[in-house]
Structure 1
Amino acid sequence: MSSDRYIDFANSDIGRRLIGAVGLPTPARLERWQAGRLRPIEGTLLISAGPLADHVRIFAQRLTDSLYSFGSDQPGATAWVAEQGPKLKAVVFDASTLTHTDQLKQLREFFQPILKSFDHSAHVVILGVAPETLAEDPLAASTQQAIEGFSRSLAKEMRDGGTVQLLHIDQGAEDQLEGALRFFLSPKSAFISGQVIRLSPCATRVQDWSRPLSGRRALVTGAARGIGASIAETLARDGAEVVLLDVPQAKSDLEALAARLGGQSLVLDICAESAALELTEALPNGVDIVVHNAGITRDKSLVNMTAEFWDSVLAVNLNAPQVLTKALLDSGTLRDHGRVILLSSITGIAGNRGQTNYAASKAGLIGMARAWAPLLQQRGISINAVAPGFIETKMTADMPFALREAGRRMSSLGQGGLPQDVAEAVAWLSQAGTGAVTGQVLRVCGQSVIGA
């Protein structure tokens, strides 16, 4: 993995002066989750008025020991005063009651006074209602849709590593707010910004926030190195028993990682005709979490694309996850209330020159999540796609310099992400409570300008 020397220079004393003088962007060093950390928020949490905000207040003191209110007279709450209160590490704004254009001014009235008071790597979450659930009230649906445009734009105005997300909360899903905010208000979501996620009612909840995956068994494909290895490490950190799968060529790395994590290694060619049967037979005790991370690239412009390049990418990236997931479901190997996470890509959303095969495969995974989500709900199983943007890996380190620099800077956060950023998103979607999220795509891309 190559280091981002521009960030190193931009955050040095001489670099800040020179870059400031010529007007170049100064990407911040993002705060990421560290081992031993006890609270999701280390700093001040500011909460607005509103019915969903009242739900947040029920558990807010489990998130931080510095809690303030703004725009509400909450009993026992400390009022935050602009230019006098402490720096803000996290903010929750309840926009769920905004149903008319005139009420949208509350967004400006709330956020404008606090914009200069954000701490380093601050996280903002706006709570709203999915516009499609308001079909009988077109004005309310229009107003809630407007909030999405506001949130994405605010995310692009954040400085010093700050992020913004919009969460749509369905009726009955209020009890899933804690799990979502523990993720989106913490450094675990450092490289996620400008995203819209919907929470629906879910019967299961996390019992132990220090080890939210305790008692659950996870299968990770392509786990020997890179993003797959980081996913395996993060799932194990959160308490999961891990089964690590990769190709025979990666056997030594795979077995070493499995031994370090106290997990099981499984050498398997996922494209082999016997792969589905071999996989289910290797998992007699079942699994709760399936992460389809294995993937390859074979890049060529379509005019020069060989059949071998096309077929191999579609076989590994799309057909194998389809076949193996169906086998795990049909055999009962994937247990009820399980979680399936598909590693897609922003290329599957926006397309990319020279990657028609790769983009097709990754878009297919998004379609797979959306199509299977309603079919799996009876068993309490969720299925989602994670779409990384530019992530610092060996593959991106081998890219030409100009292309690599463009990939790093073309996001609101002005830098590439780390494998840990993808792993944290997968770990969150693996939790018991995130059955509230299904059939969706979570982009881990620093709000890349590529795609929506």
Structure 2
Amino acid sequence: MSDRYLDFANSGVGGWLTGALGLPRPAPLRRRAEAGAGPVGPLLLGPDGGGRMAAVLSHLAGAAGQKTHAAWSPDVRYGGLVFDASGCSDAASAQALYRFFHQAIRSVAGHGRIVVIGTPPELMADAEGEAIQRGLEGFVRALAKEARRSIAVHMLYVAPGAEEAAESTLSFLLSPRSAYVSGQPVRVTAPVAVGDAGAGHKDRRVLVTGASRGIGEAITRLFVAEGAQVVALDVAGAAEGLSALKAELGVETLALDITAPDAAGTLLADALTRGGYDVVIHNAGITRDRTIARMEPREWDSVMAVNLTAPLTITQTLVEGGGLRPNGRIVAVSSLSGIAGNMGQSNYALSKAAWIGAVRRLAPQLVEQGLTINAVAPGFIETQMTAAIPFAIREAGRRMNSMGQGGHPADVAETIAWLADPASGGVNGQVVRVCGQSLLGA
């Protein structure tokens, strides 16, 4: 769907007028399709050339054909800044953050990336160290709101010993693939089995529910483009969309209501026939919006069944039945509504917030089987559903984030592809917001 204000603000006349009136002028995001997969320019590493992540950063930059700099120069436009704050343990040591970014922030190119690396706060030796490491999240969120020009800022906590396991995450955060992800923490801990960084999803078996349109279609297309063998699942009423995907992409299709009593068993049988799934993506979801005083029992029950109960049952059945292969990935689609709440969506908000609790409880259990589970929480994404929102509400949803625009289904798909990567075994039990750093919620 076209964003007329974004287009106007970046036209010749529109750019002049918005500047004269002091109106926001968001920069259109550059995604992988337009910008490729690597950073948009050289990386400035500080302090100490990237600290304990120096070797990983050097490898990433070399693979992308990018230069790394250990000293700031006013004559260079940097595609990314990476600051290792993992050793910051008191207020005095945190002054290095100020000195580095005070000097370098204006040198970041448009659409660039900034990553601050820390140590998980609970692993610090004392209260002041934990306080400073937790404080880095506030610093990053503030920096993300100051950066503008579609520059994304990330907080990456890396546990000691998990540096190599962070490579796939750094690659994602420093690339155009993370265009609509900004201002939030990501943790990398001791990994389950980790595949080769850069191997991607070639020949992996991937199940995508709700695959016929919108975000599900974008997920399907991305995984197919990366060489995966995709099973695209949706209800029988979406048969036309499934048939179109099969004809165009060659995916396997499965018409199935996931709330049916035998749905989990059907999927387990399908998985075993294929030798197990490598990735399961719980994208299917519905809304039945109404204030709770007016909501009918069927509207409550159907949202809970599709968005939560059925995917949890399918997950349990696949795990217990051996339907997931070693180093498998489960990714659920939550929502910003589940984090911030939304009027008229008490049923939807509960079902989506519930995934935050589900992934955190299931993550340590699945590690024992060499599996990970995470969730993404999209904000305002340009889909058929958001196109039907009244104009004023739609415009507010688009503008109330640091990027000043809505995201695309591809932004959610890219984030899921990173979480599902065989090299992302150190990311587990997390909920990653794909919202352009929305001003709503935590």
Residue 67 of structure 2 corresponds to 67
- Contact 2:204–2:229 (CA under 8 A) maintained in structure 1: yes
Residue 80 of structure 1 corresponds to 72
- How many angstroms apart in 1 are the aligned matches of 2:191 and 2:260? 36
Structure 1 SS opposite 2:385: helix
Aligned amino acid, residue 145 of structure 2: K
Structure 1 SS opposite 2:425: helix
- How many angstroms apart in 2 are the aligned matches of 1:186 and 1:409? 23
- How many angstroms apart in 2 are the aligned matches of 1:40 and 1:203? 26
- Contact 1:43–1:88 (CA under 8 A) maintained in structure 2: yes
Aligned amino acid, residue 47 of structure 1: L
Residue 111 of structure 1 corresponds to 101
From 196, 208, 233, the counterpart of 1:245:
233
Structure 1 SS opposite 2:153: strand
From 387, 390, 397, the counterpart of 2:377:
387
- How many angstroms apart in 2 are the aligned matches of 1:146 and 1:242? 41
From 231, 239, 242, the counterpart of 1:254:
242
Structure 1 SS opposite 2:186: strand
Residue 300 of structure 1 corresponds to 290
Residue 188 of structure 2 corresponds to 199
Matched, 1:43 2:30: no
- Contact 2:329–2:371 (CA under 8 A) maintained in structure 1: yes
Residue 88 of structure 2 corresponds to 98
Residue 54 of structure 2 corresponds to 54
Residue 156 of structure 2 corresponds to 167
Matched, 1:432 2:426: no
- How many angstroms apart in 1 are the aligned matches of 2:128 and 2:227? 46
- Contact 2:308–2:351 (CA under 8 A) maintained in structure 1: yes
- Contact 1:43–1:64 (CA under 8 A) maintained in structure 2: no
Q: Deviations over 1:250-278 (max 9, x none)?
A: 11211221332222101101011111111
- How many angstroms apart in 1 are the aligned matches of 2:440 and 2:386? 17
Residue 74 of structure 1 corresponds to none
Q: Deviations over 1:81-137 (max 9, x none)?
A: 1x22x2111111100111111111111100111122111101111100111222x41
- TM-align CA RMSD: 1.5
- How many angstroms apart in 2 are the aligned matches of 1:398 and 1:291? 25
Aligned amino acid, residue 18 of structure 1: L
From 218, 223, 232, the counterpart of 2:211:
223
- How many angstroms apart in 2 are the aligned matches of 1:202 and 1:44? 29
Residue 21 of structure 1 corresponds to 20
- How many angstroms apart in 2 are the aligned matches of 1:36 and 1:104? 34
Q: Deviations over 1:275-328 (max 9, x none)?
A: 111111222221010000000000001110110110000000000111111111
Structure 2 SS opposite 1:432: coil
- How many angstroms apart in 2 are the aligned matches of 1:400 and 1:63? 46
Seen in structure 2, the aligned counterparts of structure 1 residues 349 and 32 have a Cα distance that, compared at 3 Å, is same
Aligned amino acid, residue 167 of structure 2: E
Residues 196-345 of structure 1 correspond to what in structure 2 (within 5 A)?
196-207=185-196, 209=198, 211-283=199-271, 284=273, 285-345=275-335
Give the share of equivalent positions with the same residue, in percent: 46
- Contact 2:327–2:425 (CA under 8 A) maintained in structure 1: yes
Gaps of 5+ in 2: none
- Contact 2:43–2:67 (CA under 8 A) maintained in structure 1: yes
Residues 393-404 of structure 1 correspond to what in structure 2 (within 5 A)?
393-404=383-394
- How many angstroms apart in 2 are the aligned matches of 1:56 and 1:112? 25
- How many angstroms apart in 2 are the aligned matches of 1:350 and 1:23? 29
> How far off its partner does 1:367 sit?
1.1
TM-score (norm. length: structure 2) = 0.96
TM-score (norm. length: structure 1) = 0.94
> How far off its partner does 1:206 sit?
3.8
Structure 2 SS opposite 1:447: coil
Q: Deviations over 1:131-187 (max 9, x none)?
A: 1222x4111111111111101100010111001000000112100222111100000
From 117, 132, 139, the counterpart of 1:127:
117
> How far off its partner does 1:236 sit?
1.5
> How far off its partner does 1:208 sit?
6.2
Residue 10 of structure 2 corresponds to 11
- How many angstroms apart in 1 are the aligned matches of 2:257 and 2:139? 46
Aligned amino acid, residue 55 of structure 1: A
- How many angstroms apart in 1 are the aligned matches of 2:265 and 2:90? 55
Residue 340 of structure 2 corresponds to 350
Structure 2 SS opposite 1:383: strand
- How many angstroms apart in 2 are the aligned matches of 1:111 and 1:126? 11
- How many angstroms apart in 2 are the aligned matches of 1:97 and 1:208? 26
- How many angstroms apart in 2 are the aligned matches of 1:93 and 1:371? 32
Aligned amino acid, residue 46 of structure 1: L
Aligned amino acid, residue 215 of structure 1: D
Structure 1 SS opposite 2:131: helix
Total equivalences in the alignment: 438
- Contact 1:42–1:64 (CA under 8 A) maintained in structure 2: no
Aligned amino acid, residue 436 of structure 2: G
Residue 365 of structure 1 corresponds to 355
Seen in structure 2, the aligned counterparts of structure 1 residues 160 and 35 have a Cα distance that, compared at 3 Å, is closer
From 391, 402, 411, the counterpart of 1:412:
402
